[in-house]
Amino acid sequence: MTVALAAACLWSCSAAQDKQAPRRITYWEKWTGFEGEAMDAVVDDFNAKEVAHAKVDPNYAPIEVEKVTVSNVEQKLLIAIAGGNPPDLAGNYSFYVAAYADGGALTDLGPMLQKAGFDRSAYIEHYMKLGEYRGKTWAVPIVPASIALLTNKRLFKEAGLDPEKPPTTIEELDDFAQKLTKWEVTLPNGEKKIESGYLPDVPASQKRLLQAGFLPGEPGWWSYGWGYFFGGSLVDGPDKITAADPANLRAYDWVASYSKNLGIDVIKRFRSGFGNFASPQNAFLSGKVAMVLQGVWMHNFIEKYAPGLQWAAAPFPYPAGHPELAFTTNADADVLVIPKDSPHPEEAFEFMKYVSTQPVLEKLCLGQQKFTPLKAVSDHFWSVHPNPYIRLFRELGMSKNAFSIPQTGIWNEYNREMGNAVDLIQNMTQTPEVALTDVQTKMQAALDRNRRILARRDPK
């Protein structure tokens, strides 16, 4: 018995010596929940594949990816890089690529991609470009997203609208929104009744908003970008800010029209009654707002918090007479980056390469209930995808009118400035022209300053 044990140990110990020690790399991931689990599955597959490889080839040292979930990854990653202790690989949002690259926080993936024979034309052009900045490739897209107009079909029916016909023009959206607005009106005799429309003649003290057709501020996640839906843009190339573009002014006049029609205080009071986004009290899920601009992920929240909700998705409407602006959407993506001074850039790149293959991307994007950034899509992907509107969202992502957060190193600052301008416009404290001209002046100065800083750092 003892001899047998000793022999067994001897055999296994010597076998262990033959094997190469695994090459461990750390991967920082931002998602928790089901999105995180989808990435867990990909990491497990990769690690298993590496172990299998090592079994066949004893001289091969398998790569072992350790996934660490990190909240506020966009900030913690910078601090880790600055502190000289970055992870080998990290997931990030595409809109931080420019600021990170300007700050010198990323590894240029170009040489490695070239060596690996990476085919950028396999990707939907728009998403691929998100990782490219100042002529270099800093990030590879893995999970893309797009946004559309979501409508509540039950409320459409109640308002006498055809639930299968979402608005196609902004004018139609405004008309539907008015019809979908419901109030509780207190009559002089104290009696209460429900009325729809905007009721400009009823004083605020005698009416209470029960349901809004549409609110530009709900959820307001893309309020910097309303201009794009009207043919505007926030930047023109890397060196010019165009916040006060005439199309942007038209867009924010439209945003302000909702404050005018419903009343600023009415909207504020109404909105403060909304619950958290990820809860059944969400304004759209609870039927308080009939139409919202939302992303491909909303399907999952509907399933989770309002499983019975009858909803539809359609491209966000375009201004009447401008069909060339149809299919405008925000299209950003989750990306993989290799931080500057990553301890194991080559191993990290191996994992990146693995994730970027079609079957793995499809598994990941299916798990996260989004579409894939690749042009080719398998039939299986379409047939098992739970979101009934997934093809629409992908089509939006491929549209020539897809826009992203501008690739500029001053985006955080620009975003705050736009947020404040939208605040001023929605409160009707300032006209869009005044507010956006102010943003343009300030951000042009900030961009010039950023260029000066970059020039001082690298006089070449």
Partner 1 sequence: MSSLDSINRRNGLLFCLPWLIGLTVFLLYPLVAAFYYSLCDYSVLLPPVFIGLDNYTDLMKDPLFWKSLWNTTYYATGSVLLGLVVSLTLALLLNTKVKAIGLYRTIFFLPSLMPVVAGSILWLWMYNGQSGIINTGLHHIGITGPAWLADPAWAKTAIVLMAVWGAGNAMVIYLAGLQDVPTHLYEAAIIDGAGFWKRLIHVTIPMISPVIYFNVVLSIIGGFQAFTQAFIMTGSTGAPERSTLFYVLNLYNVGFQDLRMGYASAMAWVLFIVILILTFAATRLSQRWVTYDR
Q: Which residues bind partner 1 (CB under 8 A)?
A: 75, 78-79, 81-82, 99, 102-105, 205, 265, 268-273, 340, 410, 412-413, 416, 419-420, 423-424, 427, 429, 442, 449, 453, 456-457
Nearer to partner 1, 166 or 406 (CB): 406
Taking the complex as a whole, how short is the minimal distance between the CB of residue 104 and partner 1, in angstroms?
Answer: 5
Helices 33-56, 345-355: crossing angle, 10 deg rounding: 110
Q: Measured between alpha carbons, how far is residue 174 from residues 31, 261, 285, 368, 399 in Å?
A: 36, 11, 21, 33, 24
Other Cβ atoms within 10 Å of 315 Cβ, number? 22
Contact status, residue 197 vs residue 178, Cβ threshold 8 Å: yes
The residue among 323 and 419 lying less far from partner 1, judged by its C-beta, is 419
Least distance in angstroms from the C-beta of 429 to partner 1: 6
Q: Does a cis peptide bond (omega within 30 degrees of 0) precede residue 459?
A: no
Taking alpha carbons only, the member of 110, 149, 101, 143 closest to residue 124 is 143
173 contacts: CB under 8 Å, gap ≥ 6: 149, 167, 214, 291, 317
- Judged by beta carbon, residue 104 or residue 323, the one nearer partner 1 is 104
Q: Return the half-sphere exposure (C-beta side, CA atoms, 13 A cut-off) of residue 88.
A: 20
Using CA atoms, how far apart are residues 295 and 150, in angstroms rounded to an integer?
9
Considering beta carbons, is residue 134 or 380 the nearer one to partner 1? 134
Q: How far is the CB of 6 from partner 1 (least distance, A)?
A: 54
Query: Please, what is the minimum distance in Å from the beta carbon of residue 265 to partner 1?
Result: 7
Contacts of 288 (CB under 8 A, 6+ apart): 210, 211, 212, 270, 273, 274
Work out how close the CB of 430 gets to partner 1 at its nearest, in angstroms, rounded to a whole number: 9
Helices (H) and strands (E) in the chain, counts: 18, 15
For 375, phi and psi rounded to 5 degrees? -70, -40
| Rounded Cα gap, residues 377 and 396, in angstroms | 15
CA distance 376 to 101: 29
| Residue with Cβ nearer partner 1 (257 or 429) | 429
Least separation in angstroms between residue 329's CB and partner 1 is 25
CA Rg value for the chain:
26
Give the nearest distance from C-beta 201 to partner 1 in angstroms: 20
Nearer to partner 1, 271 or 385 (CB): 271
Whichever of 107 and 356 has its CB closer to partner 1, that residue is 107
In whole angstroms, what is the distance from residue 125 CA to residue 227 CA? 22
User: Residue 89 in contact with residue 338, Cβ under 8 Å?
Assistant: yes
Nearer to partner 1, 95 or 318 (CB): 95
Q: How far is the CB of 419 from partner 1 (least distance, A)?
A: 5
**Residue (386 or 419) nearer to partner 1, CB:** 419
Of 405, 102, 395, residue with least CA distance to 233: 405
Q: Which is nearer to partner 1, 308 or 459 (CB)?
A: 459
Minimum separation from the CB atom of position 418 to partner 1 (A): 10
Least distance from partner 1 to the Cβ atom of residue 348, Å: 18
Nearest by Cα to 148 from 440, 450, 397: 397
